Amino acid sequence: MNSWIGKTIEWNFTGSINCIHCGKKTNKSFSQGYCYPCFISLPQTDEGVIRPELNRAHEGISRDMEWSEKNDLIDHYVYLSFTSELKVGVTRHTQIPTRWIDQGAEYAIILAKTPYRQLAGLIEVSLKPFISDKTNWRKMLSGKVEETPELQASKTQFSQLIPAELQKYISPENEVAHIHYPVLKYPEKIKSVNFDTDFNFNGILTGIKGQYLIFEDGNVLNIRKHNGYLMNIKIH
């Protein structure tokens, strides 16, 4: 989509939403793209995905063990990233650097590596009293960031706060990833586009960062939020 930057994009929501898993029409999207039956039954929408510390696949407990063997019972990383500020997060080893790009991280470093999801979640939870696990998306999209931290020093600092029984999972890798985004201009005042209330929108695209498209007038569009929405799009 980089070639769209600088161009006017017209969006028209048809009013049709389809589940991104089963394809059935749904009046409302749950968990970023699913119909309600899929939302309450699929392993990828289970609470243990959103809150890794609650994942119990290693105990043989899952909505779908075959899925969990491929997605939960594999190596996971706990990482530190810098979006608008420093945060901690968890992701599968297959999602590096996709996860960092997805959240708009400008810098990131691997803190720990675990053999399954729940252990990574426990490490993340142990650090939550000291560091956020959420991205301030408005601040991230404003371009107004705090001073960029020394991630290697931050890793040393937070490694010391991990419980003794989990220290063995601290990763020796110290490479800092630096990610650049195609943004010509950050908005001064941010307004969020919501196709649930406004079916039509047009604007000049000035940047792409994380899950968001940034427009010249300060509007931002969260693409992930509108998974499954059938759109008509014109670019000129």
Cβ-Cβ contacts under 8 Å for 32 (sequence gap 6 or more): 224, 225, 227
- Condensed to tens digits (0 to 9), the pLDDT of residues 32-83 reads 999 999 999 999 999 999 999 999 999 999 999 999 999 999 999 999 999 8
Question: What integer pLDDT is reported at residue 20 of this predicted model?
Answer: 97
**In the chain, how long is the greatest CA-to-CA distance?**
58
Question: What integer pLDDT is reported at residue 142 of this predicted model?
Answer: 87
pLDDT at 86 over 70: yes
Radius of gyration of the chain measured on its C-alpha atoms = 19
User: Are residues 131 and 82 in contact, defined by beta-carbon separation less than 8 angstroms?
Assistant: no
> Tokens for 178?
């630096």
The whole-number average pLDDT for the span 142-150 is 76
Question: What integer pLDDT is reported at residue 84 of this predicted model?
Answer: 81
Per-residue confidence at 132, pLDDT binned at 50, 70, 90? very high
pLDDT at 147 over 80: no
Question: What integer pLDDT is reported at residue 206 of this predicted model?
Answer: 97
Question: What integer pLDDT is reported at residue 146 of this predicted model?
Answer: 63
Question: To which residue do tokens 């289970």 refer?
Answer: 46
pLDDT at 148 over 80: no
User: Are residues 19 and 35 in contact, defined by beta-carbon separation less than 8 angstroms?
Assistant: yes
Question: What integer pLDDT is reported at residue 45 of this predicted model?
Answer: 96
Q: Is 69 helix (H, G, I), strand (E, B) or coil?
A: helix
The rounded mean pLDDT for the chain is 95
Tell me phi and psi for residue 186, to 5 degrees: -90, 145
Strand order of the β-sheet with 76-82 is: 86-92, 76-82, 107-114, 177-178
Question: What integer pLDDT is reported at residue 15 of this predicted model?
Answer: 95
- Condensed to tens digits (0 to 9), the pLDDT of residues 168-226 reads 999 999 999 999 999 998 998 999 999 999 999 999 999 999 999 999 999 999 999 99
